[in-house]
Structure 1
């Protein structure tokens, strides 16, 4: 798809303004001469992944001073790109980047699970983010225990060593079993420990609920299904209910105690293909969250169990199986009429990667994504994966986004 002409984009901008005037949202817009309106309030975030040291720390076992310096470098990069939120992964594998009462220190800090890094990374992150007028959302992976299947490699005090019946090996990894009510309550407690003790602006779940399918393998939750699955038409419905309960209960617990803390999820972007369900998107994706991950993301929005959703629309405009330009309106329609805010997850990491298709070799691809998003009043922001690419910007794709769409800083929506 070619870049929208200035005249064509002006027509879209006018229609957006009309819609926002009708809904009382025009005050949130600022119109630049000859350009699309920009919002005074929009979510501009970046994911900062800690699992296997993707973004931070750059390696396990660094000195506290080096870890702090690296994190501040990423925060400063966010500010320089006129972002306003950092989604920091603080519980990647049933571990913690704070002195948790429930789970061990993360091995990605010191290289040894359970070993204290000698400082409190989360307290530091909250303080330094807020100094820079950045929101800090704690990013949690609810059920992943380890990137291996050997419980003996976990620290002796790990909950899975104490409760081996809680764990299921699958696809070379170890997971908490979502079908056990005691597990559901425990993982909520473990995650919310950080929320109760730190001034986080948000609680953020990623796309991993039941694990992504692995050919030829079965997630063995038969015993739990036989014990708790009565009354459900099949195991798939029971699994979806398990995840529905996790999401609903987590949101309820947050609001009872810290109403200002926002709860969001960043799912794989395809709920269901239209060929599977007439309510689904015009896609032909090989994974559907409803069917494959037991994650009924559309329901979470329609029921209002979450405050915001960030579908990972990690494909280029025109990609046949999952076209960005087709997913965007589907998600806009999904949130319409709800209080759930929609931000779009962007694959900055693909820009300039020689292994990616031709559209990703164009530094303007991501900017065109935001062009389309600005034509949908339901889209209130974007989140970029990941922090190290926000900072390094190897082909200038992030700089192009900033130039075209972020002429000044903006406050996050509330």
Structure 2
């Protein structure tokens, strides 16, 4: 009986077309973890402040990565920004990580975080600063060394690694200060917390409930500092893939809430988190029931399933690509986004995953790209790939529409819109047909909206903010 859920899901997905959209979402998260520790995703070459050529090579390496991610419609990059008590930007709190220059504590001669932000925004992609929270790296590494000099009492040594003690209130201050610094100084779209939990080998000396309160205290402090500066910033984390034991499916002793005191679903429900990226690095009964659990409890925010693309590599797990395809389709049916661990395994096209995503991601009518009025980007129309050609936008009986609703008369090329509300944080206009399907996402320029790419038909225009919330603006009839 325990295999019923999986068998039903597999039955539904085997033989189904690629363009599964059981739920229409205004914005599907299509994300990737871009790892900088050891340069395993980026950078593969070091930069030297005294060598402009080396800096340019490192920059070009990133732009190539982003170009390829954009080509498969990735819309969110989680860039590892704080590694292990060390960072990839000039910080007043922590030293440079060695991944950029090859020498811990030494600047690469430019600001990699600022460069990455600019390049992501040029491509209409969100970028979230991925902050590793509790682990501080090797005991004799630069992160631990500096913390031992500043406040050794906050560290606990386990093996040859150092960890911040989540039971001490000062730990929340340290991590929140880093997140505040990034939010103040950089135009990131989100702060993404990793390892916001007790280490698995930590001997807990308090109750599980107290442990959860200790971790939540850190989250609350970060939330308070970040949102006070930029309320629109998306705060997220990557919890363990299994939140807790389910009624019929045990977590086998490895779950977020009980094992490591990570109460992620509560954080989302109460607004402490805007997004969750659960690391569902499993398959079969260890994946599908838990994916359903995340979907059922995601009403208060967005959830993107962290998928183990690395397991397609024969050296890692040698999964068949059919397993990942099933997971992708089921997640889309459930209304979950997707996040791939990690960038290199996607770009290396293991078992054709890159080629598959190129088609799969353009089949979803999710929102594609943001307009950043305060950033230096190309103000071009963003649309949802070939989605327009997949949807019948014609309405057979126009009389079905209430005649007292506001109409915008159009010449088929552009329309004039009402003044933009000061509360809006993007210039995006979501276009839906009368069936409620997303057709395209366009960018307004002042009060003007270029609609020449839309087919003839009747549409509803919505404003759209960075959280994916919509507000109906008007109806449009294009003739």
What are the within-5 Å matches in structure 2 for residues 11-410 of structure 1? 16=22, 29=24, 39=25, 41-58=27-44, 63-146=54-137, 148-150=138-140, 153-154=141-142, 158-213=146-201, 219=203, 234-274=206-246, 278=247, 282-316=249-283, 318=284, 320=285, 322=286, 324-336=287-299, 338=300, 340-353=301-314, 355-356=316-317, 360-361=319-320, 363-377=321-335, 379=336, 381-407=337-363, 410=367
Residues 256 and 386 from structure 1, CA distance in 2 versus in 1: closer, same or farther, beyond 3 angstroms?
A: same
The TM-score, its normalising length taken from structure 2, stands at 0.69
Larger radius of gyration: 2
Q: Secondary structure of 2:163's match? A: strand
Q: Secondary structure of 2:88's match? A: coil
Q: Distance in 1 between matches of 2:270 and 2:113?
A: 31
Residues 4 and 407 from structure 1, CA distance in 2 versus in 1: closer, same or farther, beyond 3 angstroms?
A: same
Divergent runs of 4+, >6 A: 6-10
Contact in 1 for aligned 2:139/2:157 (Cα 8 Å): yes
Worse overlay, 84-93 or 363-372: 363-372
Q: Secondary structure of 1:168's match? A: strand
The structure that is strand-richer by fraction is 2
Higher relative contact order (CA 8 A, sep 6+): 1
Residues 141 and 354 from structure 1, CA distance in 2 versus in 1: closer, same or farther, beyond 3 angstroms?
A: closer
The structure that is helix-richer by fraction is 1
How many pairs does the alignment contain? 357
- Superposed displacement of residue 46, structure 1: 0.7
Q: Secondary structure of 1:263's match? A: strand
Residues 252 and 208 from structure 1, CA distance in 2 versus in 1: closer, same or farther, beyond 3 angstroms?
A: closer
- Superposed displacement of residue 253, structure 1: 2.2
- Cα RMSD (Å) of the superposition? 2.7
Residues 155 and 391 from structure 1, CA distance in 2 versus in 1: closer, same or farther, beyond 3 angstroms?
A: closer
Unaligned runs of 5+ in 2: 1-6, 49-53, 370-466, 469-479
Q: Secondary structure of 1:125's match? A: helix
C-alpha distance after superposition, 1:360-386 (max 9, x if no partner): 22x232222121122224x2x111111
Unaligned runs of 5+ in 1: 18-28, 30-38, 223-233
Q: Secondary structure of 2:351's match? A: coil
Residues 59 and 299 from structure 1, CA distance in 2 versus in 1: closer, same or farther, beyond 3 angstroms?
A: same
Residues 269 and 368 from structure 1, CA distance in 2 versus in 1: closer, same or farther, beyond 3 angstroms?
A: same
Residues 297 and 383 from structure 1, CA distance in 2 versus in 1: closer, same or farther, beyond 3 angstroms?
A: same
Residues 260 and 305 from structure 1, CA distance in 2 versus in 1: closer, same or farther, beyond 3 angstroms?
A: same
- Superposed displacement of residue 355, structure 1: 4.7
